[in-house]
Structure 1
Amino acid sequence: MIYCCEEHVELALDVVVDEYETFPNLEKLEEGKDLSTTCEYCQKPAEYLVGN
């Protein structure tokens, strides 16, 4: 699973497709929750969870 910001969501989708050779699940993280999770590529607050 990859946590990512809006800017890096396409990159995360490509990485999951390349790794698992299947269409990934894309889940938008709930607004209003105080998450400390950051984007794995740039350390901005994560907005999406990409996984298989």
Structure 2
Amino acid sequence: MIYCCEEHVDVALDTIVYEEETFPILEKIENTHSLSTTCEYCKNPAVYLVTNERSHT
């Protein structure tokens, strides 16, 4: 599971494909203004969650 910003979404997608050897799932994070989670690549606010399975939220 990778939280990422708009700029790094392609890197996160590639990482899931490479590490998990499966299709990634891209989910837009709602209410990003109230979320304190940051991009794992640059520490900007996260906009997307990239994973290989559906989240349970």
Between Structure 1 and Structure 2, the one with more helix by share is 1
Q: Which runs of 5+ in 1 are unaligned?
A: none
Q: Following superposition, which runs of at least 4 residues in structure 1 exceed 6 angstroms of deviation? A: none
Q: 1:9 to 1:45 in 2, by over 3 A?
A: same
**Residue 14 in 1 paired to residue 14 in 2?**
yes
Q: CA RMSD in A?
A: 1.1
Percent identity over the alignment?
69
TM-score (normalised: structure 2): 0.86
TM-score (normalised: structure 1): 0.94
Q: CA deviation at 1:50?
A: 0.1
Give the corresponding residue for 1:40. 40
Aligned length: 52
In structure 2, how many angstroms separate the alpha carbons of the residues matched to 1:6 and 1:32?
Answer: 12
Q: Which runs of 5+ in 2 are unaligned?
A: 53-57
Q: Relative CO higher for 1 or 2, CA cutoff 8 Å, sep ≥ 6?
A: 1
